[in-house]
Amino acid sequence: MGKGIGVREVGYFDCHGGGQVVVDGNYAYIGHVDNTTGTTIVDVSDPKKPRQVANVPTNPGIHAHKVRVGNGIMLMNREHPPRPKGPPLTAEELAQPVGLGIYDVSDPTRPKEIGLWRCHGNGVHRFTFDGRYAYISPEIEGYVGNIVMILDFKDPAKPQEVGRWWMPGQWAAGGETPLWKGRAHRCHHPIRLGNRLYTSYWHGGCVILDISDMNKPKFAGGIDWSPPFPWPTHTCAPIPFPIAGRKWMLVADEDVLPLDPNLAGDMSAFMWMVDITDETRPMPVGSFQVEGVNGKKNPWMTGCHQPIEDITSTEVPFAWFAQGLRFIDISNPHAPREVASYMYDPAPGETRVCSNDVFRDSRGLVYVIDRVRGLHIVERV
C-alpha cells in the first residue's frame, strides 16, 4: 500500500519488476526487466485478486521487457539487455536470437509460440501493435541504431515488412554518415494515429511520419530539443481530440542518459505539450514537473518516464520514476497541472519507487508496474 491523493489502490500483484504492462480483456500482460522471467499473464477480471495464469520465460541474455497484445496475438521484444553495471554479456548470451517473439494467446492461460521474427544487433526495443500491424524499433544490418519499421501480421507465422524509415545519416551501408555520435539518434518507438506515426527518436527528438502509403513512410514534421535539454525523448503520444480547437502531442523525455550529465544540473526530465496544428512546425507551449524535484541534484530515474499512450481524456496518468504514479490535467496545454497521485511503498530493500510503465483499461482502472517489483492496480476517487 501507499499514499494516494485522489487515488485508491484496488489490488496488488507481487512479481518481478517490469518494463511494460498492457491489459487486453480480462488479462494483464507484464514484460519483465531482469533475469529470465520473460512475460507473465495475469487474470485481472477481479482486480482485487489478480492471479497469474501463465508465464513465458526467456533465455539468459535476452531482455523481454516489452509486450503488446491484439487480435489474439502476443508480441514480446527480444533484445540484448543493456548492462551499464556488472559483467558484459557472454558470447553464449550474445548468440541468442533477437527480434520479436510471436505467440497465440487466444487462450491467455495457454500461450502457444508461433515463431520469432529476427533482426540484427541488439534487437527490438519498444513497439506498438494494433492486431494487424506492428510499429517497431529494430536494429537492422547496415544501419546505425534502431530505425522505424512496419510489420504486417496478417499471417502471424510469417510477418512481412511493409515499410521502413530512418533518420538521414543512419544508413551506413548506403554511404550515409551520421552527424551525431554513436547511437544517440535512434528510434525508441512509433505510435500510430490515423495515417501518422508519432515517433520518439531518443536524442533525435520527435518525428512525425506520414504513412498514407505504408510502403513508403515520409517525414511530415519534427522537433528536437536535445540539446539544449540533455535527456532523450521517450514517448510522443498524439492527443486524439482537439483542445482549444488545436491539435496536440504529449511528449515525455526520459530521466536517463543525458548527452552531457553536467547540463542536467539541478533538473530532472519532464513532460511537454506540443502544438502540432501545423505538423511541419511543432511548437512546445507548456511543460510539467512534479513539485519538489527541481532545485537539487537528483540521481537518474528521478523524473519523467512514461504516460499512457491511449489517451481518452484530458487527465493523463504518468509513471514518473521515483515520484510514483501522477495524474496530469492537460486541459490547459500551456499550464498542465497535477490533479491526483499515488506513491506506493518501495520494493523490499529499495529506498525509493521506480514507476516504469502505466496502462488504463476499459473499466478506468490504472495499472502501474514498478521496475524493481510489483504491479499496483488503482482507481480514481
Query: DSSP assignment of 59-124, as one string?
Result: -TT-B---EEEETTEEEEEEBPPP-SSSPPPPHHHHTS--EEEEEE-SSTTS-EEEEEEE-STTBB
Q: Give me the average pLDDT of each 10-residue run along the chain (381 residues).
A: 92 97 98 93 98 96 96 97 80 94 98 97 97 98 97 98 98 95 94 98 97 98 94 97 98 88 80 98 98 89 97 98 98 98 96 98 98 98 96
Determine contact, residues 167/207, Cβ cutoff 8 Å. Answer: yes
User: In this predicted structure, what is the pLDDT of residue 182?
Assistant: 86
* Cα–Cα distance list, 74 to 34, 106, 108, 233, 349 (Å): 20, 9, 9, 26, 33
Determine contact, residues 267/324, Cβ cutoff 8 Å. Answer: no
Q: Please tell me the pTM assigned to this model.
A: 0.97
292/144 Cα distance (integer angstroms): 38
Q: 88: Cβ–Cβ under 8 A, 6 or more apart, which residues?
A: none
Find residue 315's DSSP bridge partners.
329
80/125 Cα distance (integer angstroms): 9
Range 10-26 burial, b when 16+ CB lie within 10 A, else e:
bbbbebbbbbbbbbbee
323/340 Cα distance (integer angstroms): 12
Residue type, 355: S
The full set of domain ranges for the chain reads 2-380
User: In this predicted structure, what is the pLDDT of residue 259?
Assistant: 74
Q: Helix (H, G, I), strand (E, B), or coil: what is residue 262? A: helix
Please compute Rg for the chain using Cα positions.
Answer: 20
Work out the end-to-end distance of the chain between its first and last CA atoms, rounded to an integer number of angstroms. 16
326/169 Cα distance (integer angstroms): 37
291/351 Cα distance (integer angstroms): 19
220/237 Cα distance (integer angstroms): 16
* Cα–Cα distance list, 1 to 28, 257, 366, 376 (Å): 20, 31, 15, 9
* Cα–Cα distance list, 6 to 94, 366, 378 (Å): 46, 13, 10
Pick the CATH number of 2-380 from 3.40.50.2300, 2.130.10.10, 3.40.470.10, 2.30.130.10: 2.130.10.10
Q: How many residues are given for the chain?
A: 381
User: In this predicted structure, what is the pLDDT of residue 264?
Assistant: 67
